[in-house]
Structure 1
């Protein structure tokens, strides 16, 4: 596991084997050329053609928050991610979309959360780029931190052992829950606003009417 910190980005990079963290990173470049690949983990170095290549029960999860292109590219190149997927992940103006590349898929979704103190909806976006042996996440904004998703999955090794698919499932499950919570919060605010507007006290709080 490795962490990098800078002014705007926190990166957490971890390899999982059978549901547990192991040290090192996966190098999938050789698999993109049709060979077996090699692994550097726990001082266990395996090269193309060795008897024990990259194991099927391993995957790497790399996560970024508000990164720059320079911060993303080294990891994206190492994993063989299509440059167009990285371009979309860095954009703040892309709509939600799903793109399929040769050996990986990119899903960009919009995140929302109701801010009860400011009575507004906070908006962000998350891109998940996933393949058989990795998931690469890029988040913009403070909504729906993936650190919580990672911590929850790590507490259930039997689940995270299922690989990138379970990361995608857990994230989308939380995303839908957050959408539902936001709708419920807005409904409560609207009911309260109607009560204030049409009740005995007709002093309409205009600052809330235009929230």
Structure 2
């Protein structure tokens, strides 16, 4: 508040290259500062060096209060960073169920961004995959909850990553047991295990 009252710009970049909004979005203790910056007109679509918005940062950190504040201020959940990932995707990657739940409730796209593999790989070495695939890489305890959230939000279990795998096949490769696989996809995708077997046989 002191800096703002002294007319310091809300877009002032720190020595580490981060805008004030991003710094506040990462820290649960900075909820009041975040609200003050938004009220002062800090641009919600401002990017850092990774082309991430403050919403990306809050989602990655699991700062649900900041996620809710930014969404309430109409921060766009569909903006992609340099790795072509949304805030929801980063919440999933980091196992942040609370943040992911808020983003899904706000209508965030659950199936990722369709993009040619070659175009994607020109920008990043991270795999081209949907949030559901990333959830399948989590440990089964947290991954199952994330998968249920995404499937209930109509995530497509048939989507394949750049290696031709479905999310269920990724989970199998990550060491999930048949019982864990069945539980994660139960009711949302009744034929999941049959599909997995068919996919595995087809790939041989």
Bin for the TM-score computed over the shorter chain: under 0.3
Higher relative contact order (CA 8 A, sep 6+): 1
Structure number with higher strand proportion: 1
What TM-score do you get using the length of structure 2 for normalisation?
0.21
Question: Greater CA radius of gyration, 1 or 2?
Answer: 1
What TM-score do you get using the length of structure 1 for normalisation?
0.20
Structure number with higher helix proportion: 2
